[in-house]
């Protein structure tokens, strides 16, 4: 019988290869061997785990972790190939199914990238740096998110597709395998308190640009700089931000491009942070285009003329046949993306239900002084590590959602007036696995009613969040919460789903809506102390000290 991904001959062969390289490089040589049963009991899928791990009397948790990540990489490669086969087949596909498969193809290809990077990190003979440990945990968390997104879309938008089962089963098995890999990695490389093991990373260990503060005003008195030398823009205004080139987008033809997408297409691919940002300056105007930052457009910076001055707008919504994932006006995947002084809108309106303004799946991405405007599902913080500073976010139902590790700092979060009969849920965090290092941290923000909600008759109920997925995690810290928030604070998703597995917390908030006397009494709800709150700061939750300085965006690393 030929070997395949889940056959015993494949497992034995692959394990022998991984074990050969890992015996000399285990992170803790004194760690005693463990049985597959012992290793698998710490995972969410013990039986599945035991069916995958080979029996070897000398293997430790690191060996099993490396082995399972390699198997996950093989599974992701097979899934990507399978999806491409469906897309390339001559079988007729509806427009909706085709869109779902394209989304799944993008996500599967990203999983191959993340797992290859993780496997390469774990194959190193040197102890992992602390940032490398966080990288791997982040990438493994994202593979689960990507796979779950594809599964969700198949169930929601392609439920009637007759061939769905052919792809659904491999995806479901992949979820289990990725979860096992994340659990084994977490047990081996991550402390129980969530802090990483491994050698501490010093700043000169990582290739980073210089760091400083970005200016908020990029036009008027600075615009003449473009006529003299585009390359000198930030050298003149902020010498500490490293920029490799600058192009200008202007609708009147006075710049290098008239559309944002054309400027992005001209950006170099796969640039490293130490080479500087490719900066796209977008002159004030309303840009009716759907903007995509692909995975190979790394370290791209877009700066506009200010909120409500430089506006990117679209109107895609689920009611019109778009998937939630693909309804975004601005979709970001390329690592190291920075946006400043831009408004992004989805004008589909509440009647079109899910209609995303920004979908962000870019690692180490930053939005500074931006505005996100929509109704349901405005800001899709899809995956990986993200930071938002001094931004305005408008919406109604679940309008900050997704499964990234995302920190919002000094932002204004505005609840709008929803459709009749709807309630507002500010957040709907989508953590599906207890070992994912994801969640929403809202720090020193203002939680307020938008003018339309504030002037209504007051019958709309608004909540801090509700659990989209089983391990949903959201924390409000040192923020102002106005009186429009319901005294219970939080809303269930459906019955008692996730109420004991979620993690919702509040810390040192102020304002009439911050009173916790009548808050929900769910097992997963907490009022936390300084020590617990520190875990959700910029420095700890998204390891911001390692990547935010190069952006020039200001931030507070700890509690205030």
Whether the CB-CB separation of 538 and 544 falls below 8 Å is answered with yes
Pull the structure tokens for residue 172. Answer: 């479901």
- The string of DSSP letters for 163-183 reads THHHHHHHHHHHHHHHHHHHH
Pull the structure tokens for residue 84. Answer: 């491409």
| Pairing of β 385-389 and β 439-443 | unpaired
**How far, in Å, CA of 36 to CA of 48, rounded?**
11
**How far, in Å, CA of 291 to CA of 312, rounded?**
8
**How far, in Å, CA of 280 to CA of 257, rounded?**
10
Apex 243 CA angle, 242 and 244, nearest 5 = 125
**How far, in Å, CA of 311 to CA of 464, rounded?**
28
Apex 447 CA angle, 356 and 388, nearest 5 = 55
**How far, in Å, CA of 477 to CA of 508, rounded?**
6
User: Strand pairing partners for 455?
Assistant: none
Q: Could you confirm whether 305 is annotated as catalytic?
A: no
What 3-state class would DSSP assign to 103? helix
Pull the structure tokens for residue 22. Answer: 């890992």
Apex 308 CA angle, 303 and 313, nearest 5 = 80
233-240: list long-range contacts, CB under 8 Å, 24+ apart: 233/279, 233/281, 234/279, 238/212, 238/213, 238/214, 238/552, 239/212, 240/210, 240/211, 240/212, 240/213, 240/552
Pull the structure tokens for residue 467. Answer: 């659990």
Pull the structure tokens for residue 267. Answer: 């950006």
Enclosing H/E stretch for 41: none
To which residue do tokens 């030929």 refer? 2
Alpha helices in 190-209 (DSSP H): none
Pull the structure tokens for residue 47. Answer: 């039986």
Annotated active-site residue in 305, 377, 398, 486: 398
Catalytic residues: 398
């Amino acid at each position: 019988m030929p070997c395949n991904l889940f056959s015993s001959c494949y497992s034995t062969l692959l394990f022998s290869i991984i074990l050969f390289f890992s015996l000399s490089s285990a992170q803790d040589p004194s760690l005693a061997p463990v049985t597959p049963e012992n290793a698998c009991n710490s995972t969410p899928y013990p039986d599945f785990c035991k069916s995958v791990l080979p029996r070897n009397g000398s293997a430790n948790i690191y060996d099993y972790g490396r082995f399972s990540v390699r198997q996950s990489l093989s599974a992701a490669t097979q899934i990507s190939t399978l999806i491409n086969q469906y897309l390339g087949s001559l079988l007729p596909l509806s427009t909706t199914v085709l869109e779902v498969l394209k989304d799944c193809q993008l996500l599967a290809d990203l999983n191959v990238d993340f797992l290859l990077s993780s496997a390469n990190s774990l194959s190193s003979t040197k102890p992992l740096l602390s940032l490398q440990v966080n990288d791997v945990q982040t990438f493994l968390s994202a593979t689960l998110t990507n796979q779950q997104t594809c599964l969700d879309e198949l169930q929601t938008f392609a439920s009637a597709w007759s061939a769905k089962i052919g792809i659904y089963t491999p995806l479901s098995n992949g979820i289990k395998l990725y979860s096992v890999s994340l659990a084994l990695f977490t047990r081996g490389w991550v402390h129980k308190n969530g802090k990483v093991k491994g050698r501490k990373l010093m700043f000169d260990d990582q290739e980073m640009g210089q760091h400083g503060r970005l200016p908020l005003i990029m036009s008027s008195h600075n615009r003449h700089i473009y006529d003299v030398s585009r390359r000198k823009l930030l050298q003149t205004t902020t010498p500490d931000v490293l920029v490799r080139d600058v192009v200008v987008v202007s609708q009147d033809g006075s710049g290098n491009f008239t559309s944002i997408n054309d400027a992005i297409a001209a950006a170099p691919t796969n640039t490293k942070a130490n080479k500087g940002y490719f900066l796209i300056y977008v002159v004030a105007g309303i840009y009716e285009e759907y903007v995509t930052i692909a995975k190979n457009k790394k370290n791209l910076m877009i700066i506009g003329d200010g909120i409500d001055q430089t506006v990117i707008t679209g109107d895609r919504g689920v009611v019109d046949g778009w998937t939630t994932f693909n309804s975004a006006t601005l979709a970001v995947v390329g690592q190291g993306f920075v946006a400043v002084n831009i408004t992004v809108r989805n004008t589909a309106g509440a009647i079109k239900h899910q209609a995303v303004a920004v979908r962000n799946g870019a690692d180490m991405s930053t939005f500074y002084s931006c505005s996100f405007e929509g109704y349901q599902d405005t800001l899709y913080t899809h995956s990986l590590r993200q930071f938002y500073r001094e931004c305005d976010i408008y919406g109604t139902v679940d309008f900050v959602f997704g499964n990234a590790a995302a920190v919002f700092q000094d932002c204004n979060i505005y609840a709008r007036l929803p459709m009749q009969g709807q309630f507002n849920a500010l957040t709907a965090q989508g953590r599906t696995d207890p070992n994912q290092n994801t969640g929403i941290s809202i720090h020193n923000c203002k939680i307020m009613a938008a003018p339309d909600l504030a002037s209504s008759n007051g019958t709309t109920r608004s909540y801090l969040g509700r659990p989209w997925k089983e391990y949903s995690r959201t924390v409000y810290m040192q923020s102002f919460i106005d009186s429009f928030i319901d005294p219970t604070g939080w809303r269930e998703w459906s019955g008692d789903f996730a109420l004991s597995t979620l993690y919702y917390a509040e810390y040192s908030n102020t304002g009439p809506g911050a009173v916790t006397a009548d808050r929900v009494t769910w097992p997963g709800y907490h009022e936390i102390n300084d020590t617990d709150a520190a875990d959700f700061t910029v420095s700890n939750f998204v390891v911001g000290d390692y990547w935010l300085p190069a952006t020039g965006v200001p931030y507070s690393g700890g509690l205030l």
